[in-house]
Amino acid sequence: MDLEKKTIELIKSFNIDFALTLPCAKIKRLIYLAAESFTHIPLSREEEGIGIATGIHLAGKRSILMIQSGGIGNSLNALLSLAMVYHIPIPIIISWRGIYKEGIEAQIPMGKYLPAILKAAKIPFVEIHKATDVMQIEQALKTCYEKSLPTAILISPEFWEKSKFKEEEPIIKSPFPERSIYFNIGLTEAILSKPTLTRYQAIEILSGEIQDKIVISNIGIPSKELFDILDQPSNFYMLGSFGMASAIGLGVALCTEKDVFVIDGDASLLTNPNILGTISQVGDRCQNLTILLMDNGTCGSTGNQLTIAYKQVDLEFLARVYGIKNTLKADLPEEILRGLRTLPKGPRLLQIIVKPENANVKNIPYTARQIKERFQNALLFSANN
């Protein structure tokens, strides 16, 4: 049996729209076929895949991840504090290395301990070894959607070894596309003056622009401040998953025509900067995405510890380097509003320089599931452009 084709057919029967992939040599053909069969989003880090898949689910569509076993190690926090807590069904096909005829010593620890890690984390999983196990993939997809939880499908190289297919498809379409790298140093002039606004004040200034809009809001105090200023069902408050705000925003933006705003933070973006490249890679599909980067140069929510953005790293430049062409810096009320109104449709990033100061605001009273369900309903029925 052609097990790769069979697997793709099984996945297709679950009406999956997107394949989010990060390669492993053992599943190169599977990924090639997935790219032909679904909207393909290549990832730079597996963890961002959990964020993007969450956004896709929130916006009513389905995605599947295809990654290597080590990628679970890279994604564990997002898996637990986002996908498990908010009950997000994400099937994850895992090329399970380190357990069968493994030639790379470094693959062994993660592969060996993976079932125990998943078990301890209560993440549902199945193990697939033999060609005869193929229907277990279907069962795993079924329970993934029934339980509404991420579900790991661990597939041993032994399984793929048994695959029989006539011709080897090219793994990369030949010839390679023309290579071009976008360089742009035409940045907004560096702001040398001291920022005058707090994050709270900046959100207040933006509140008229984001009212009735889809807003994904960063972990910690930014979400609490947004709740205090403008609570609305179309706000998705992150309770965990540090670094996933823009990834969730991208997932939602890929599935709706409506404007999607992300309130991100400098520390959060710096922990997962690769998302900027993933956004620019699919830029023509997420023109509706705006990142409002609240740059206070600190981990505001954990006590204002300085980040590398405080003095060394220009995050607008970073976004440009990653290929986001529409960017701007702003630190004054009128500049923020003008910036938002004049910055061409994106994906775009408005770097808002604010003071490292937190407002004294309450906790968000909703559970993760309440946040999710309110948001999903708002997306279906009310949030408009």
Ligand X SMILES: Cc1ncc(C[n+]2csc(CCOP(=O)(O)OP(=O)(O)O)c2C)c(N)n1
Decide: residue 105, CB within 10 A, 0-12 exposed, 13-18 middle, 19+ buried. Answer: exposed
Residue 203 beta carbon to ligand X: minimum distance, rounded to whole angstroms:
10
Residue 214 beta carbon to ligand X: minimum distance, rounded to whole angstroms:
20
Which positions lie near ligand X, rule CB under 6 A?
77, 199, 218-222, 242, 265-268, 294, 296, 298-302
Nearer to ligand X, 66 or 309 (CB): 309
Could you give the angle at the alpha carbon of 318 between the alpha carbons of 314 and 319, nearest 5°?
120
Could you give the angle at the alpha carbon of 263 between the alpha carbons of 245 and 73, nearest 5°?
15
Using CB atoms, what's the residue nearest to ligand X?
265
Radius of gyration of the chain (CA): 21
Nearer to ligand X, 35 or 324 (CB): 324
Helix 274-281, helix 46-58: angle, nearest 10: 50
Rounded CA-CA distance 191/204 in Å is: 21
Residue 267 beta carbon to ligand X: minimum distance, rounded to whole angstroms:
3
Nearest residue to 314 via CA among 353, 271, 274: 353
Residue 56 beta carbon to ligand X: minimum distance, rounded to whole angstroms:
22
Nearer to ligand X, 55 or 243 (CB): 243
Residue 51 beta carbon to ligand X: minimum distance, rounded to whole angstroms:
13
Residue 294 beta carbon to ligand X: minimum distance, rounded to whole angstroms:
5
Nearer to ligand X, 37 or 77 (CB): 77
Contact indicator for 99, 184 with CB cutoff of 8 Å? no
Residue 266 beta carbon to ligand X: minimum distance, rounded to whole angstroms:
4
Residue 344 beta carbon to ligand X: minimum distance, rounded to whole angstroms:
26
Q: What is the dihedral of CA 273, 279, 280, 283, to 10 degrees?
A: -170
Nearer to ligand X, 63 or 301 (CB): 301
Nearest residue to 44 via CA among 339, 209, 246: 246
Nearer to ligand X, 41 or 216 (CB): 216
Contact indicator for 138, 93 with CB cutoff of 8 Å? no
Residue 82 beta carbon to ligand X: minimum distance, rounded to whole angstroms:
11
Nearer to ligand X, 290 or 296 (CB): 296
Residue 91 beta carbon to ligand X: minimum distance, rounded to whole angstroms:
24
Nearer to ligand X, 47 or 127 (CB): 47
Nearer to ligand X, 266 or 331 (CB): 266
Nearer to ligand X, 223 or 232 (CB): 223
